A and B are shown apart, each in its own frame.
Chain A
């Protein structure tokens, strides 16, 4: 019997975990990643909720699991894909070609472009940044400065930027932003003693087992303030600080305050790579443009096309735990497919 070959498209958390499991089953795996380094969004992060372990620890573990059955193709994108005599023939951007008997789409997500919420001033006001920008500050500089080089004394976090918002066409909750805001708020307090931190939220969705404890720590140990209300708009003061306007919906009154730095919690959106593959393969998407599996509960890793499987955030927003579990499930579905 010849060794079965699986192509895994996307080298983020889902792709790495799926590839490692498939290689462990003895299949040959082609792991195809558009960037020049695997690790996806996780490698851009400093620390992860709720344990606050280093993201690099996860990436190191996922990379370390790969055995000699995995061939990694970096800087490669799919140009075409077609079914040919029981195999999938995949053309890459370097004009090379791969053949595989099964394909896992693990194409992931993009961060919502915060500039689309123009009223929050990202890309207009210097001291409005995104959660990803703050994480880069943690990772690369190990300290927080605003645009003027000052250590901020008051930081605001805006939840649900690009999530639960019909105005940008995203009706869903991105799941990870609430707890990320709580994590980052704590980290700001640790780095800047005496800094006042405010989270502006609609609902706090602390769904994970340890998330509620992190939320309580934020309030109890660090005195982080939570104001229920969705930011209507932000303005820049002459000194570069940012004035925010929100309704304190528990007080049923509008509220304004000055912040030295405003952090927008960008949600997850389906990415262009997923869209291209959906079009090439004739797959279905849902009303939010996420890839639609054969059945969201019962066949969450299968598609309507035999041999095409899905894993990770290309089908819906997921935490890293959920993504890894989904990737393992997809690998098992591929094994079942080969045994049939």
Chain B
């Protein structure tokens, strides 16, 4: 077919009802402290890996809560598990275990 140079843009909208909430449910069961995150960004600001990569725990948690999990695997791999974020979190989120639990969920659901 002749290519006229037109394309259809994919929808940027978060379609909550069609999204994959398995990782969120797994986390809610095994590390429920991730629910109390109020997205202040202290974890990301203190993150050593975040200085050199685009790792942001704040963003990851937000995406998981909305069921947007396509990039979670590559994100989680960037974490060095140093635990600075856990020292900094004002809400007491068990951040290291959030990362470990995400990785377990990814294995469990073969994502």
Q: How far is the CB of B74 from chain A (nearest CB, A)?
A: 17
User: Do A255 and B13 form a contact, CB below 8 Å, given A248-B66, A250-B62?
Assistant: yes
Contact count band on A: 10 to 19
Name B residues whose Cβ lies closer than 8 Å to a Cβ of A. Answer: 12-17, 28, 32-33, 35-36, 38-39, 59, 62-63, 65-66, 68, 91
Contact between B14 and A256 (Cβ–Cβ < 8 Å)?
A: yes
Inter-subunit contact A255/B36 (CB<8 Å): no
Number of A-B contacts (CB under 8 A): 45
Q: Mark A245-269, 1 if CB is under 8 A from B, else 0.
A: 0001011011111100000000000
- Establish whether residues B63 and A256, one from each chain, have CB atoms under 8 Å apart when the complex forms: no
Question: Which residues of chain B are within 8 angstroms of A258 by Cβ–Cβ distance?
Answer: 17
B-contacting 9-mer, from A218-226, A271-279, A309-317: A218-226
Q: Residue A220 contacts which of B16, B35, B62, B63 (CB distance < 8 angstroms)? A: B35
With A251-B63, A256-B14, A257-B17 already in contact, 10 other A-B pairs whose C-beta atoms are closer than 8 Å = A219-B35, A220-B32, A223-B28, A223-B32, A250-B39, A251-B66, A253-B13, A254-B12, A254-B14, A255-B13
Minimum CB–CB distance for B86 against chain A, Å: 17
Distance of B31 from chain A, by nearest CB (Å)? 12
Known: A250-B62, A251-B66. A256 touches B16 (CB 8 A): yes
Residue A164 CB within 8 A of the other chain: no
B97 to chain A, nearest CB (A): 15
Contact of A251 among B14, B33, B91 (CB under 8 A): B14
